């Protein structure tokens, strides 16, 4: 990392956000200076911005295996999820009953818009089914299929979980839905749309909308070395959806607001780099992750690993350390220059146990000792060695001072 303030820090919280890659930063600079135009302007400065945005759209469409017109640039994961869920709901309001299916381990950026709809529109026939996951953190596909009713309009299942890194069987769900939708089409009934929150996977593993058979897909730049405040939503052609932002008609009328050209430039460059280094980086990171996990387990007694270790992002470790509060460990590590997460960034600040850990059946008391380590592009072997050295001492000290059950 080039930022001097971070020189000595060991950052193991890449699932919360990533630093901007230095190459991305360099690539963006001209879009603040000479190429600052409004991409809608007809003059040459505007047209240069327009060209960048369309080049980025083409590149990302190519990565996803879709058409450029199916990509809408947004402000990130939260907006993309809100647009997908509320947008589909609003486009189907005329139906008598509207049923949404999602899982118990979704990010709050999916759970909250779903909750908003159900709480505010239950009088007009909105309801939701939360499908459970097994103890390994994989969604119960059979339960999804059983939950589908003739009123189902939307299924939203995340690609990989942000807390425990487990990768969900989207393809299996997508294939089943395709069969149901063929039948529905014959009977002239509304389609069931399939949305995925792919914020943890796009830029990290291959994401192909035809393979996964999804209709909507959310991604966010700051989870793969682009700046914060930029992302995209894939919307399959023909999808019945309403925009959230009305105005100048940008992004094929789906997302009005002057286009975030510099952000999209960053997203484009970060996606290019991601594609180039993905396989190599995943091997490197997996090796470091495994070394860190082995080190932790062999040196600290009473550690439980949360979630499936096979169907999982290669950079994720989520553990519960018995007899400690995660916040105490997190703060002690921070004072040693090591930054980790106590579970998920969104539920930190509250001392409530994580909804994901509770969903996979972790005891609420044990869940209070959860820690998440997420490795990334700038993680080194020396850093991993340092954590293996420091963490056992920290845990030992805390266990001695404040023994809890």
Ligand X SMILES: *Cc1c(COP(=O)(O)O)cnc(C)c1O
Enter the tokens of residue 328: 């105490």
When asked if residue 83 is in the footprint of ligand X (CB under 6 A), the reply is no
Minimum Å distance from CB 179 to ligand X?
28
Q: Which is nearer to ligand X, 128 or 366 (CB)?
A: 128
Q: Burial of 163 by CB count in 10 Å (0-12 exposed, 13-18 middle, 19+ buried)?
A: buried
**Residues 6 or more apart in contact with residue 242 via CB below 8 angstroms:** 86, 87, 90, 91
Q: What does DSSP assign to residue 19?
A: P
| CB proximity list for 86: less than 8 A, separation 6 or greater | 113, 116, 117, 242, 244
Least Å distance, CB 39 to ligand X, is 21
Question: Does the footprint of ligand X cover residue 76 (CB under 6 A)?
Answer: yes
Residues between 193 and 232 with contacts to ligand X, criterion CB under 6 A:
197, 199-200, 220, 222-223, 231
354 scored as a contact of ligand X (CB under 6 A) = no
Tell me: does residue 263 bind ligand X (CB under 6 A).
no
- 340 near ligand X (CB under 6 A): no
Taking contact as CB under 6 A, which single stretch among the options 76-84, 244-252, 289-297, 307-315 is the one that binds ligand X?
Answer: 76-84
Give the helix/strand (H/E) hosting 152.
strand 152-156
Nearer Cβ to ligand X, position 190 or 307? 307
The CB-nearest residue to ligand X is 77
Q: Cα-flanking dihedrals φ and ψ of residue 165, to 5°?
A: 75, 5
Distance of closest approach, residue 16 Cβ to ligand X, in angstroms: 7
- Give the DSSP H/E element, type plus range, for residue 194: strand 193-197
Exposure letters 111-136 (e unless 16+ CB within 10 A, then b): bbbbeebeeeeeeeebebbbbebeeb
Per-residue binding letters, 120-159, with ligand X (x by CB under 6 A): --------------------------------------x-
| CB nearer to ligand X: pick between 53 and 105 | 105
Secondary structure (DSSP) of 322-378: TTS-HHHHHHHHHHTTEE-BSS-TTTTTS-SPPHHHHHTT--HHHHTTEEEEE--TT
By the rule CB under 6 A, 78 interacts with ligand X: yes
Q: Which is closer to ligand X, CB of 200 or CB of 239?
A: 200
Q: Compare residues 98 and 223 and give the one whose CB is closer to ligand X.
A: 223
Cβ-based nearer residue to ligand X, 57 or 372: 372
* Count of residues touching ligand X (by CB under 6 A): 14
Give the orientation angle of helix 326-335 with respect to helix 381-401, to 10 degrees: 130
Q: Given candidates 86, 98, 107, 322, which one binds ligand X under the rule CB under 6 A?
A: 107
Q: Binding of ligand X at residue 315 (CB under 6 A)?
A: no
Examine the residue annotation and report whether 346 is marked as an active-site residue of this protein.
Answer: yes
For position 376 contacting ligand X by CB under 6 A, the verdict is no
Smallest distance from ligand X to CB 74, Å: 9
251 binds ligand X (CB under 6 A): no
With a CB cutoff of 8 Å and minimum separation 6, the contacts of 251 are 72, 73, 259
Does 173 help bind ligand X (rule: CB under 6 A)?
no
By CB under 6 A, is residue 162 in contact with ligand X? yes
Phi-psi region at 3: left, alpha or beta (left = phi > 0; alpha = psi -120 to 50) = beta
User: Which among 66, 320, 339, 346 is annotated as catalytic?
Assistant: 346
Q: Which stretch binds ligand X (CB under 6 A): 48-56, 74-82, 87-95, 383-391?
A: 74-82
Among residues 215, 230, 248, the alpha carbon closest in space to that of 88 is found at 215
Active site residues: 346
Can you give the binding site for ligand X, defined by CB under 6 A? 76-78, 107, 109, 158, 162, 197, 199-200, 220, 222-223, 231
């Amino acid at each position: 990392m080039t930022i001097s303030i971070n020189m000595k820090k060991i950052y193991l919280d890449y699932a919360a956000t990533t630093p901007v890659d230095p190459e991305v930063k360099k690539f963006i600079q001209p879009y603040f200076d000479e190429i600052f135009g409004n991409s809608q302007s007809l003059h040459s400065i505007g047209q240069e911005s327009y060209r960048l945005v369309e080049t980025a759209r083409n590149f990302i469409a190519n990565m996803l295996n879709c058409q450029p017109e199916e990509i809408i640039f947004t402000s990130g994961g939260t907006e993309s999820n809100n647009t997908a869920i509320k947008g589909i709901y609003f486009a189907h309001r005329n139906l008598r009953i509207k049923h949404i299916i999602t899982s118990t381990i979704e990010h709050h950026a999916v759970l909250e818009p779903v909750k908003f709809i159900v709480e505010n529109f239950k009088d007009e026939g909105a309801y939701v089914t939360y499908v459970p996951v097994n103890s390994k953190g994989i969604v119960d596909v059979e339960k999804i299929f059983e939950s589908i009713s003739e009123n189902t309009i939307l299924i939203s299942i995340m690609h990989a979980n942000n807390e425990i890194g487990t990768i969900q069987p989207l393809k299996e769900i997508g294939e089943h839905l395709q069969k149901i939708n063929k039948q529905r089409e014959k009977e002239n009934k509304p389609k069931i749309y399939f949305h995925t929150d792919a914020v943890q996977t796009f830029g990290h593993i291959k994401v192909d909308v035809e393979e996964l058979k999804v209709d909507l897909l959310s991604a966010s730049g700051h989870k793969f070395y682009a700046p914060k405040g930029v992302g995209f939503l894939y919307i399959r052609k023909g999808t019945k959806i309403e925009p959230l932002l009305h105005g100048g008609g940008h992004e094929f009328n789906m997302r009005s607001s002057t286009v975030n050209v510099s952000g999209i430039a960053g997203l484009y460059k970060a996606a290019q780099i991601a594609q180039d280094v993905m396989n190599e980086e995943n091997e490197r990171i997996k090796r470091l992750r495994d070394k860190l996990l082995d080190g932790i387990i062999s040196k600290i007694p009473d550690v439980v690993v949360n979630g499936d270790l096979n169907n999982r992002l290669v950079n994720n470790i989520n553990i519960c350390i018995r007899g400690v509060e995660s916040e105490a460990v997190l703060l002690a590590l921070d004072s040693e220059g090591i930054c980790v997460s106590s579970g998920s960034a969104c539920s930190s600040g509250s001392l409530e146990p994580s909804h994901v850990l509770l969903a996979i059946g972790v005891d609420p008391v044990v869940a209070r000792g959860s820690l998440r380590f997420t490795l990334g592009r700038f993680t080194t072997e020396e850093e991993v060695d340092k954590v293996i050295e420091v963490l056992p001492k920290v845990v030992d000290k805390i266990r001695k001072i404040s023994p809890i059950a």
